[in-house]
Amino acid sequence: MSANLPARAKFATALLRTAAALSRATGRGDGSVIGGRVGLVVEPRLLELLADGRHVVLISGTNGKTTTTRFTTAAMEAIGKVATNSFGANMPTGHTTALAKAPRAAYAALECDEHYLGQLLDAANPKVVALLNLSRDQLDRAMEVTSLAAKWRQILQASAGQTTIVANADDPLIVWAASVCERVVWVAAGQSWTADSAICPNCGSHLDRFGEFWRCTNCGLNRPSPQWSVAQTGEAVVGPDGRRYELNLQLPGRVNRANAATALAIASLFGVEPAQAAPRLSEVASVAGRYAKVERDGRRLRLLLAKNPAGWLESFDMIEKDPPVVLSLNAREVDGFDTSWIYDVDFTSLVGRKVVVTGDRRTDLAVRLEVDRVDFLVVDDIRAAIAAVAPGPVEVVANYTAFQDIRAEFNRVN
Amino acid sequence: MSISTLRIVWLYPDLLSTYGDRGNLLVLAHRARARGIEVEPMQIRSDQHIPYGADIYLIGGGEDGPQAVAAERLLDDGALGKAAEAGKTIMAVCAGYQLLGESFYANGRCYAGLGILDLRSDRGENRAVGEFTGEGSPVLGIGQITGFENHSGRTRLGEAVQPLARVGAGVGNDGATEGAWAGHVVGTYMHGPALARNPRLADLLLAWAMGVSPDTLAPIDDTWPERLRAERFAALAPE
């Protein structure tokens, strides 16, 4: 940890903190990215030096990584201080800042962008890597999802070494990528989006699915037996000992119970008993604005972030049955410029509800909803959306920058 | 009018469905139903037999591996070639477009296509990613077209096909032309829900399938699609 840092790394860390503080003070952001960038220019090995001697878990996947990282941090804080990139800055600059800001934390829970997993695996020497799921996301700039799984498989084969992998047994792409590793803890974390894994990633044959099971009839790739799963009834996680650990989450949906199962599996590898960890997850009320509840003019908004088809389907699964729904869609660089994926989302569950549409690409959404025969109202921004619905609860679903715009309207609510 | 229920088959969504490809199926079904036409949408997986009797066949985009497998299975099945000979309506996108040609390039080698369209596809040096516009074939009367492309293919058209459009902005086949058509078969690099942005092309396919002229289709409210088109053209217009 930082007590043993060489002089250049100490200097780099000090500059990093100054740059981050300046960025916050001038209202440019939370400073994670700029701080890390400054630090890494002064000492290119800064991330490696800051990670040295800590017990690190990396958490990656298309969806759920911010929430799972938050749950994991909450669980691991039972045994010590945890450094974490809680602002969702999930590239090496953000990781460097997270570690620099918590010099005395013996543990680190780092959310990792899918494309930086290899770099982080080398730099942070993690004890545990958690792989949640892979599905289509930002197709115009990211690589296609099977190629990403293949890259992960190659990376893990080359450098996982003594690392334990916590992996989703329900996602064939994850299973294929993780199955090259010796130590894998399997979690039945579910798969809300199966369209990217109809075909065996290993051999290209069809995967047969029956209930929760799946297997390739040609090469034999199949669903491993999970050690951890979400209970079939009630809200609980079932551990490797077959015991139920009751959850009392504030965060909604089956997908968050699965994220909780993954967090408990990770924490137990660091020595946190699930019975000790599970109650700590109830303290998480929102994650960087996700699931946050805000109020204006009698409208009580719940904010849901959904960046890709799997995320939108998960959101529709979470929302309450009756309140009006506000949908906001942007297609700026970090969202991906291509909106074609909205045709992978089935909107028919919104038929009969009050639906208000906004965001830079609201016209794309309007055309999409018309095709699914959903009645909708198009408005310019979130303020107009709020004015357009009756007082009471409102569900808001937005993709990345659309979500940030809405958060900004509410004082960057966390 | 030669149909009863309009049967639209989306081929091989298990292999070729990458960029909202379901959108073309949804848009065609929507536009037919809006005119009171019964529609039976069908999804045929690559381990199923392709029905002969459908009215419209759709095939989407995908990665190299699935593209090569799809071409092999389509050749084995034979129904798509027979559908083309019988004058059925076919619309193919990206990888699906390429495999309707004589040959295409995937996994570092050349594969035989179905030979339904007289064209050959190769790999370009750069990936073409971004908004696309072009002037639709005047013969087809589809007006300006708009879409999003994301592919590294380059396609050379033969004598027996015509381009779907002349490129305005974007790459398409080769920077000059985009897509191809012959008879009732259309191929394009405009991926995923191309028909959502090009209602006249969607109606042309419906009209072909029904054996009528597009002018005879009842007009439907295209306020939102037209507004979307205007936005996308404006986004590409010079400052």
Lowest mean pLDDT among A33-37, A303-307, A337-341, B162-166: A33-37
What Å distances lie between residue A370 and A374, B49, B191, B218, CA to CA?
6, 32, 20, 18
Residue of A384, A362, A329, A309 lying closest to B228 (CA atoms):
A362
- A198 near B CB under 8 A: yes
Where in the sequence is the domain holding B139, given as residue range(s)?
A: 6-236
Q: Which chain A residues are closer than 8 Å to B148 by Cβ?
A: 140, 337-340
What residues of B act catalytically? 94, 191
The 10s digit of each residue's pLDDT in A350-409 is: 999 999 999 999 999 999 999 999 999 999 999 999 999 999 999 999 999 999 999 999
Question: DSSP for A182-227?
Answer: S-EEEEE---S--GGGSB-TTTS-BEEEETTEEEETTT--BPPPPS
Task: Please name every residue paired with B113 in a beta bridge, in sequence order, or none if there are none.
Answer: none
Nearest to B224 among A147, A341, A366 (CB): A366
Residue B194 confidence (pLDDT): 95
Residue B1 confidence (pLDDT): 47
**Taking a contact as any Cβ pair under 8 Å apart, which residues of chain B between 84 and 113 contact chain A?**
none
Q: How many helices (H) and strands (E) does chain B have?
A: 7, 12
Beta-carbon-side half-sphere exposure of residue A283 (alpha carbons within 13 Å)? 12
Spell A215-229 as b/e; 16+ CB within 10 A means b.
Answer: bbeeeebbbbebbbb
Tell if the CB–CB gap between B193 and A337 is shorter than 8 Å.
no
The 10s digit of each residue's pLDDT in A94-120 is: 999 999 999 999 999 999 999 999 999
Whether residue B90 contacts residue B186, with contact meaning beta carbons closer than 8 Å, is answered with yes
Answer yes or no: is B15 within a domain. Answer: yes
pTM summary value = 0.90
User: How confident is the model over A212-235, as a mean pLDDT?
Assistant: 93
The 10s digit of each residue's pLDDT in A145-193 is: 888 999 999 999 998 788 999 999 999 999 999 999 999 999 999 887 7
Q: So what CATH class is A293-409?
A: alpha beta
Nearest to B225 among A139, A144, A367 (CB): A367
Q: Is the pLDDT at A250 greater than 80, yes or no?
A: yes
CATH of the domain at B97: 3.40.50.880
Phi, psi of A301 (to 5 degrees): -90, 135
User: What CATH architecture applies to the domain A2-281?
Assistant: 3-Layer(aba) Sandwich (3.40)
Q: Which chain A residues are closer than 8 Å to B47 by Cβ?
A: 206
Nearest to A342 among B20, B46, B150 (CB): B20
Residue A140 confidence (pLDDT): 61
Residue of A259, A251, A137, A236 lying closest to A193 (CA atoms):
A137
Nearest to B224 among A204, A344, A363 (CB): A363
Answer yes or no: is B1 within a domain. Answer: no
**CATH 3.40.1190.10 residue window(s) in chain A:** 2-281
Residue of A302, A301, A306 lying closest to A391 (CA atoms):
A301
Residue A68 confidence (pLDDT): 97
- B228 near A CB under 8 A: yes
Which residues, given as ranges, of chain B have pLDDT below 70?
1-3, 239
* Cα angle, residue A56 at apex, residues A53 and A61 outer, rounded to 5°: 155
**Taking a contact as any Cβ pair under 8 Å apart, which residues of chain A between 369 and 388 contact chain B?**
370-373
Query: From the CB of residue A75, how many other CB atoms can be counted at a distance below 10 Å?
Result: 29
Tell me how close the Cα of B159 comes to any Cα of chain A, in angstroms.
Answer: 32
Question: DSSP for A4-48?
Answer: G--HHHHHHHHHHHHHHHHHHHTTS--SHHHHHHHHHHH-TTHHH
Query: From the CB of residue A37, how many other CB atoms can be counted at a distance below 10 Å?
Result: 18
Number of domain units in chain B: 1
Q: Which chain A residues are closer than 8 Å to B44 by Cβ?
A: none
Residue A3 confidence (pLDDT): 57
Tell if the CB–CB gap between A144 and B18 is shorter than 8 Å.
yes
Beta-carbon-side half-sphere exposure of residue B7 (alpha carbons within 13 Å)? 16
